[in-house]
Amino acid sequence: MKRIVIGLLTVGSLVCAVQAELLLGFDQWANPFSNQGNSASFVGTDVSGSMTYSGGTNSASEWFNGDSGSNDGTFGPSLTGADNTGTTAFLGGLATKGVNDQSAFAVFVTINNDHATDNLVINNFVFDTWREFAGSPPRWDLYGSGDITSGFLKQTAFISNLGAPATANANDYTDLSMNLGNIGDNVLAAGESATFELRVWESTSSINQVGKSWIDNVGIDGVFQAVPEPATLGLIVMFGGGLVVARRFFTI
């Protein structure tokens, strides 16, 4: 939730754009049968978080960790620092359509703003994915909860069938990024937290097939923004208003 909402374009024009940075990154996958969550392999300053997952009722519908991960070295399209050895993939062996509830298969990422005062603006939820079969789930849905906009947030575009993953160090997964800049509330005030649920879309497999989708290099990027003191905020508003007046006066 936004601690302070500033609805002045003039103020925004005075602040230089700060490029978003990786806040949390996950490219190491715990054994799902141990029912353990995953610790982030990358954690930004004044941020903490964790990952868990759900789904799996039989041998044909469970999560598996594998050795054919994404090898491009990025979280999503461009955030560097991910493992590029291709040995940390996480495989969801997804049940056939009509047999199990596909929506039960999900990855949950929780992020906490541990800064004492500043707001944390969350810009993108990113990940790498590999769709193995023509009947594998073709999309991922993102849901939010906690101190941000709750409910459905985004859906990926249709993911092309890539075929069976090769052995380790040989896969460049599809890189996906979900922009969270227009979801309504993508800001965590100091001490707040949010949980993102990345839910697999329904499989298009026939009743006798298993559709598999792989996921790797999950990350969240964003930027901290200082919260102005009331006196400072007043000066900014006055200065911004002065610029507007001056611009109108000198415009021919």
CATH number for 18-250 (one of 2.60.40, 1.10.10, 2.30.30, 2.60.120): it is 2.60.120
Spell out the domain ranges in the chain.
18-250
Q: From residue 177, how far is each of 34, 123, 127, 194, 231 by CA, in Å?
A: 29, 10, 7, 18, 38
Task: Report the C-alpha gap between 232 and 66 in whole angstroms.
Answer: 53
Q: For 75-132, how does the pLDDT look when each residue is reduced to its tens digit (9 = 90+)?
A: 988 888 887 776 665 555 544 444 444 556 788 899 999 999 999 999 999 998 888 7
For the ranges 3-7, 121-125, 166-170, 241-245, the maximum mean pLDDT occurs at: 121-125
What is the model's pTM? Answer: 0.78
**112 and 193 Cβ atoms separated by less than 8 Å:** yes
Going by the DSSP 8-state scheme, the letter that residue 170 receives in this structure is -
Q: What is the pLDDT of residue 162?
A: 74
Cα–Cα nearest to 127, from 183, 89, 166, 168: 89
Sign of CA dihedral 116, 121, 122, 123: negative
